[in-house]
Structure 1
Amino acid sequence: MGDIIANRGKLFFKVNPSLKFLLTSSLFILYLFVHNLNTMIWASVFFLVLYVFACGLSGKWSFGFVLLTLILSLFSASAMILFGKGNTVIFHYSLIMMTQESLARGIMLGLRTFCFSLIGMVFATTTLPVPFFYSLMQQLKVPVRYAYGCLAAFRMLPVMGEELGHIRQAMRVRGMANQHGVKAFSNKMIRYLLMMLAQSIRRAQRTAIAMEAKRFSMTEARTYYYEIGWSVYDLYFLFILLITVTSGFICSSLFPVTPFTNVLDH
């Protein structure tokens, strides 16, 4: 992951992870009840700018995530645009009917998907797993067994990826990769699943025994190797989010791009 995250010294990396998690989650709820198309347009613009400046990823990864988000948002909006209902018909051919109302609702849905993805990526690309789980235990009082269990599962993901590569190489050496057909593909998938399942059960059992030996199931107060606290960067983060959200609402009122102030009324 070191080649993906290019700069861990940016401001958002220094913010308390629990505060970042709570504030970004509240934004999902806020924009879920926004039906003003202009607000979502400006919110998407401002959060895209925030993501560009706050993201800790390298340039190609950052651009790749934005491009993928745009594609997913387009797919999310297309069903509503092409098959929605409305009175003002723009295009109609067979089962496809595009109306002015369905176009507005589809764009609204796509922008909401895009905005939600940007907010999630701002959190995900500036939050390291270990401080996040330690903050959950210390600030949000998540039980130790669950937090460390999730952290252990997260640490197993690259191990499972490496193990999958070993299985693929072993099958290639034995000539199984050259077999073609539906039956050969089915047998190959069964072998992959059985071997991965057996290794995962074995690894999970060893991890559970190790965690029990370290008394992760105890309910008494524990000491932590990493102490996650509060800092002035938390206030900076709160202020930046407030400015971003407020700017979206203000610009939607002062500089409306479309006449759709409520897509549900049309």
Structure 2
Amino acid sequence: MLAWFTPRRETWLFKVNPALKFIIFFAFLLITLFNQNLSFAVWQAVLYGILFYGFSGYSMKKLALLSIPLAISFFSSALTIVLFGKGESVLWQWGLIKISEESIQHALLLGSKSLSFGFVGFTFLLTIQPILFFYAMMQQFRLPSKYAYSFIASFRLIPAVTEELQIRRNALKVRNIQFSRGLKGMYERLQMYTVPLFAESIRRAQRIAVAMEAKQYQMGAARTYYYPTRYSLMDGIFLTVMAIGLGFALMLAFWR
């Protein structure tokens, strides 16, 4: 599953400091959230779409699959506002369904915002390495290590838990274990899977605690890092490109 998220090529977005990228993208999402201008929202979605499709480094097949939930979110939210929104200039009405000019504008605004959120979120997730992201948050923005290392440990345990689940499934299949149907079968599966997985998780947590104690890990103490992260020229290029892109979108939105 993790191999599916391996990019075909690493673009310039991969070289940007992940903590800086997070702050900038989060600021752009706040701008998208509080913006009420339809033209600006549309051009924002176009800008973020260019980043997603042009510079994420993934094949168009994978990007098309990731675009399916974005399209569903756009049409579902927009259609709801169009059919049941409020407005003075009514174009068509039948019972509870009322389509007006205002509802169409609000629908396009909400749909554009949902696309922007999806494009920015996917672009960020696809162009970072999670481990380096938390190291950058600790080094550049002083995120407490107790939170950062908790996330790192959780992320690194995902493959181990997945492998343990597969081993348990194969063991039950070899023993020809048959489950009942319906709710009783769900309870039996829950009982057969959760108990050994929970016990293994406790043992794994104990080994991690012993390892951290052996490395003299102390909460809040100054530490050195195996993966040093720092700012580079690419970060300045990233800030410049994003500022120019947002300014260009703003200019196009209010240009007459």
- Tell me the TM-score normalised to structure 2 length: 0.89
Aligned ranges 1:42-191 → 2 under 5 Å = 42-176=43-177, 179-191=180-192
Q: Secondary structure of 1:230's match?
A: coil
Contact 1:80–1:102 (8 Å) recurs in 2 = yes
**In 1, Cα distance between the equivalents of 2:59 and 2:66?**
11
Q: Secondary structure of 1:13's match?
A: helix
Q: Secondary structure of 1:92's match?
A: strand
Aligned to 2:230: 229
Contact 2:12–2:234 (8 Å) recurs in 1 = yes
The Cα shift of 1:36 comes to 0.7
The Cα shift of 1:188 comes to 1.9
Q: After the TM superposition, which of the residue ranges 180-189 and 40-49 deviates more from structure 2?
A: 180-189
Q: Secondary structure of 2:141's match?
A: coil
Contact 1:41–1:111 (8 Å) recurs in 2 = yes
Q: After the TM superposition, which of the residue ranges 34-43 and 157-166 deviates more from structure 2?
A: 157-166
Q: After the TM superposition, which of the residue ranges 232-241 and 97-106 deviates more from structure 2?
A: 97-106
The one-letter code sitting in structure 1 at the alignment partner of 2:168 is I
**In 2, Cα distance between the equivalents of 1:108 and 1:57?**
28
Unaligned runs of at least 5 residues, structure 1: 256-266
Aligned to 1:259: none
Structure 1 residues 179, 135: CA separation in 2 closer, same or farther (over 3 Å shift)?
same
Aligned ranges 1:212-227 → 2 under 5 Å = 212-227=213-228
Question: Following superposition, which runs of at least 4 residues in structure 1 exceed 4 angstroms of deviation?
Answer: none
Contact 2:134–2:152 (8 Å) recurs in 1 = yes
Contact 1:40–1:108 (8 Å) recurs in 2 = yes
Q: After the TM superposition, which of the residue ranges 126-135 and 78-87 deviates more from structure 2?
A: 78-87
Structure 1 residues 77, 163: CA separation in 2 closer, same or farther (over 3 Å shift)?
farther
Per-residue CA distance 1:131-174 (angstroms, 9 max, x = gap): 21111111111122221221110111122222222233233334
Q: CA RMSD for the aligned pairs?
A: 2.2
**In 2, Cα distance between the equivalents of 1:59 and 1:145?**
38
Q: After the TM superposition, which of the residue ranges 182-191 and 28-37 deviates more from structure 2?
A: 182-191
The Cα shift of 1:52 comes to 1.6
Count residues in correspondence. 255
**In 2, Cα distance between the equivalents of 1:118 and 1:197?**
36
Identity of aligned pairs, percent? 35
The one-letter code sitting in structure 2 at the alignment partner of 1:5 is T
Contact 2:179–2:189 (8 Å) recurs in 1 = no
Q: Secondary structure of 2:121's match?
A: helix
